[in-house]
A and B are shown apart, each in its own frame.
Chain A
Amino acid sequence: MNSVYTVKQVNSYIKNMFTQDFMLNRIYVKGEVSNCKYHSSGHIYFSLKDESGTIACIMFAGARAGLSFRMQDGQQVIVLGNVDVYERDGRYQLYAREIVLDGAGLLYARFEALKKELGEMGMFAPEYKRPIPRYVNTVGIVTAPTGAAVRDIINVSSRRNPYVQLILYPAQVQGEGAAENIIRGIRALEKKQVDVIIVGRGGGSIEDLWAFNEESVARAIFDCAVPVISAVGHETDTTIADFVADLRAPTPSAAAELAVYEYREVRERMLSCVQAMRKAVYMKTTAWRAALERTALRLKFAHPRQKLNEKRQYAADLESRLRALMDTRMTDRKHRLALYVEKMKRLSPLEKLSQGYSYVQGPSGNVRSIEQVGAGDPLTIYVADGTIRTEVRSVAPIAYPGAENRQKEEP
């Protein structure tokens, strides 16, 4: 006994050998699944076996993204993982990171290779993508006549726009001759001059979808003069056809949504165009009518009758001003007249007569001087209450103190 080691030492020594091994760190192992158990923790425990033996395997819950199907006993799978030692049990096992079905694994490799090849050729380049026309009249469909895909496309399309013509090329989309069938469908619809082509099918395994990964199909889609929408499987299924198509739809229903415009929207757009035009014309005519009315008003003001009326009005104004002036003047005069009347009244001869004076009228009128009469001339004397007729007997001058000659009073 040279030296004695603990279990722990041996196990960790072995573990160290495993982890340092380049190949065991990343290894693909193929075999048949057995003793497969989905643990409640999310981990999956199983074994891989072939004719010669088995290897214990575990896929931790954290690595479950690497498994896209429900694993069952008896399946042929390829597991990618690393082989390591579980020290507690002193045994090694395969820690799985990705698990694919074996047949599919091969197809997957082919898929990757073709994708790389066509991608390098530029067949996926965006500059080759044709735009999908927004308003289509006819939509070509290449798919199985009996699948859910065609039903979905018809339903969505007729709901969105029942006036779009759908032309179905009933194609065999899986199995022997599917690729040739799909290609014939694309060519036939291209010849029919449809506006857009939907190529697709419902979901399935990678084998089911394989026709859409064929290079010949990819080329037919690439060469098609009509824009092509691919609609293969579910959202997570990606095929070469999706890369090469002008537009990739996640599902057949989505393809119909992308290809067929909503009728109601177009109706509304047309209506809004009508309204916009009506409104514009209405605004215009209203504006022009208003301008017309303004002009008419201006014209009316410019009419000679208007001028005439203005002059007439002016004349009337002048007249009334004149009248007013006259009125004030007249009142003024009337007042003055009344004053004069009053004055005159005081100067009246009758007044004088009543005061004892008399008025003497001779042959030559009012006698104011002795010169006017001679002896024998008749005189009429007016007194307050009547007249007296008499004759002149004689005349003689008289000198009044401080005055010239005055008419001689009657005797």
Chain B
Amino acid sequence: MAEKKKKQTLEEMFGQLETIIGELEADDVSLEKSFDLYNKGMNLLKECGKSIDEVEKKVLVLDEDGSTHEF
């Protein structure tokens, strides 16, 4: 499950976010559903943040044996 979530790309997550926002902005959505959608959206955003993985990366060099070391 967690694996599956990880597989989701930023692009897909943004797509879902747009859908959620669209639903949230619709007039006929109930209050409970609104909060549900909001929570879902916030979780998705958290996932987006995670997927960006905001740690500055060092350039790696790929060796012949498949291992890597810093450039």
Please report A residues at the B interface, Cβ cutoff 8 Å.
133-135, 137, 140, 145, 154, 162-170, 184-185, 188-189, 191-192, 263, 266, 269-270, 273-274, 276-277, 280-281, 284-285, 288
A155 to chain B, nearest CB (A): 11
Interface size on B, residues (CB 8 A): 36
From A137, A170, A277, contact of B61 by CB (8 A): A170
A135 to chain B, nearest CB (A): 4
**A270 with B56, Cβ < 8 A, contacts A135-B11, A145-B61, A288-B31 known:** no
Q: Are B31 and A163 in contact (CB under 8 A)?
A: no
Q: Are A134 and B59 in contact (CB under 8 A)?
A: no
A183 to chain B, nearest CB (A): 13
B60 to chain A, nearest CB (A): 5
Q: Are B62 and A284 in contact (CB under 8 A)?
A: no
Q: List 12 additional A-B contacts (Cβ < 8 Å) besides A277-B20, A280-B34.
A: A134-B10, A163-B53, A164-B57, A168-B61, A185-B62, A192-B66, A263-B52, A270-B48, A280-B21, A281-B34, A284-B34, A285-B34
Q: Are B56 and A162 in contact (CB under 8 A)?
A: yes
**B-chain residues with CB within 8 Å of residue A169 when the two chains form the complex:** 61-62
Nearest residue in A to B18 (C-beta to C-beta)?
A273
Nearest residue in A to B65 (C-beta to C-beta)?
A188
Q: Are A166 and B10 in contact (CB under 8 A)?
A: no
Nearest residue in A to B45 (C-beta to C-beta)?
A270
Q: Are A277 and B24 in contact (CB under 8 A)?
A: yes
Q: Are A280 and B52 in contact (CB under 8 A)?
A: no
Nearest residue in B to A194 (C-beta to C-beta)?
B62
Complex-state Cα separation, A228 to B41, whole angstroms: 33
Please report B residues at the A interface, Cβ cutoff 8 Å.
9-11, 14, 17-18, 20-21, 24-25, 29, 31, 34-35, 37-38, 41-42, 45, 48-49, 51-57, 59-62, 64, 66, 68, 71
Q: Are B53 and A168 in contact (CB under 8 A)?
A: no
Complex-state Cα separation, A94 to B21, whole angstroms: 72
B62 to chain A, nearest CB (A): 5
**B-chain residues with CB within 8 Å of residue A145 when the two chains form the complex:** 61, 71
**A166 with B56, Cβ < 8 A, contacts A273-B41, A277-B42, A281-B35 known:** no
Complex-state Cα separation, A168 to B31, whole angstroms: 51
Name, among B29, B31, B71, the residue most crowded by chain A CB atoms within 10 Å (CB to CB).
B71
**A-chain residues with CB within 8 Å of residue B64 when the two chains form the complex:** 184, 188
Q: Are B14 and A166 in contact (CB under 8 A)?
A: no
Q: Are B45 and A163 in contact (CB under 8 A)?
A: no
A148 to chain B, nearest CB (A): 15
Name, among A134, A191, A276, A288, the residue most crowded by chain B CB atoms within 10 Å (CB to CB).
A276
**A-chain residues with CB within 8 Å of residue B14 when the two chains form the complex:** 269, 273
**B-chain residues with CB within 8 Å of residue A185 when the two chains form the complex:** 62
B2 to chain A, nearest CB (A): 17
Q: Are B59 and A163 in contact (CB under 8 A)?
A: no
From B9, B10, B37, B68, contact of A167 by CB (8 A): B68
Nearest residue in A to B46 (C-beta to C-beta)?
A270
**A-chain residues with CB within 8 Å of residue B49 when the two chains form the complex:** 270
B66 to chain A, nearest CB (A): 7
From B25, B45, B53, B66, contact of A274 by CB (8 A): B45
Q: Are A168 and B11 in contact (CB under 8 A)?
A: no
Complex-state Cα separation, A209 to B3, whole angstroms: 42
A365 to chain B, nearest CB (A): 97
Complex-state Cα separation, A168 to B54, whole angstroms: 20
Complex-state Cα separation, A381 to B61, whole angstroms: 154
**A163 with B54, Cβ < 8 A, contacts A277-B38, A288-B31 known:** yes
Nearest residue in A to B56 (C-beta to C-beta)?
A162
A265 to chain B, nearest CB (A): 11
Q: Are A189 and B62 in contact (CB under 8 A)?
A: yes
